[in-house]
């Protein structure tokens, strides 16, 4: 029987975040070796055989594979880190006390992680674009998403809201 003081929605969201974390981890475990083999095939003229596995990379430029591989190498650990931070926040919410100083720091860390992943993605695209042997005829397009940066800003605002909420709650506890 569930504890009356626990937030069941937070517990459900904790399970969903955990499942998402494992799915992303599995994608990394599968995707990174597959893209690595594809890159080897692409760099060796379109096909390669590694330990009995034959890889064909027709129609895919090495640059696309490098961007995909770098993307997975950055996104998988980044998303796992974000999911771990979210789980810790949700656990405090499930316990009925989300306004703890650690949650403000966790929200800031999530914002920094998202910003860092986007900056690394942009740097990889720029780096790949400068190597002619990787891009073939069509260089990758450089883009960024405004909503991503708005989300990062929102996370920093929420972090400050949590800091202030924690401070106000602590002041209230000291008031008679």
pLDDT tens digit sequence for 87-142: 999 999 988 888 888 999 999 999 999 999 999 988 888 887 777 666 666 666 77
What average pLDDT is seen over the chain?
83
Percent of the chain having pLDDT more than 70?
80
| Token pair 């090495």 in the structure block, residue | 62
Q: Which of 145, 122, 131, 128 is nearest to 64 (CA)?
A: 128
Beta bridge partners of 54: 49
pLDDT of 1 reads 40
Q: Give percent of the chain above pLDDT 90.
A: 41
- Residue (of 108, 79, 103) closest to 90 by Cα position: 103
Q: DSSP state, 131?
A: -
Is 147 within 8 Å of 118 (Cβ atoms)? no
pLDDT in tens, 2-52: 455 567 888 899 999 999 999 999 999 988 887 777 777 776 666 666 666
Interval 144-172 mean pLDDT: 91
176 pLDDT exceeds 60? yes
Residue scoring higher pLDDT (116 or 165):
116
Total-model pTM? 0.79
Residue 171 has pLDDT above 60, yes or no: yes
């Amino acid at each position: 029987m569930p504890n009356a003081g626990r937030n069941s929605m937070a517990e459900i969201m904790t399970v969903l975040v955990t499942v998402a974390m494992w799915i992303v981890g599995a994608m990394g475990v599968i995707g990174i070796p597959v893209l690595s083999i594809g890159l080897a095939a692409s760099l060796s003229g379109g096909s390669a055989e590694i330990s009995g596995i034959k890889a064909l990379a027709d129609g895919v430029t090495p640059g696309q594979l490098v961007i995909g591989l770098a993307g997975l190498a950055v996104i998988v650990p980044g998303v796992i880190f974000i999911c771990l931070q979210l789980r810790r926040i949700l656990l405090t919410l499930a316990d009925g006390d989300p306004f703890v100083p650690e949650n403000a720091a966790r929200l800031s860390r999530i914002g920094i992680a998202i910003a860092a992943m986007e900056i690394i993605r942009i740097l990889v695209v720029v780096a790949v674009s400068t190597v002619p042997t990787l891009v073939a005829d069509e260089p990758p397009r450089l883009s960024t998403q405004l909503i991503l940066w708005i989300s990062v800003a929102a996370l920093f605002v929420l972090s400050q809201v949590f800091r202030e909420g924690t401070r106000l709650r602590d002041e209230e506890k000291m008031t008679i």
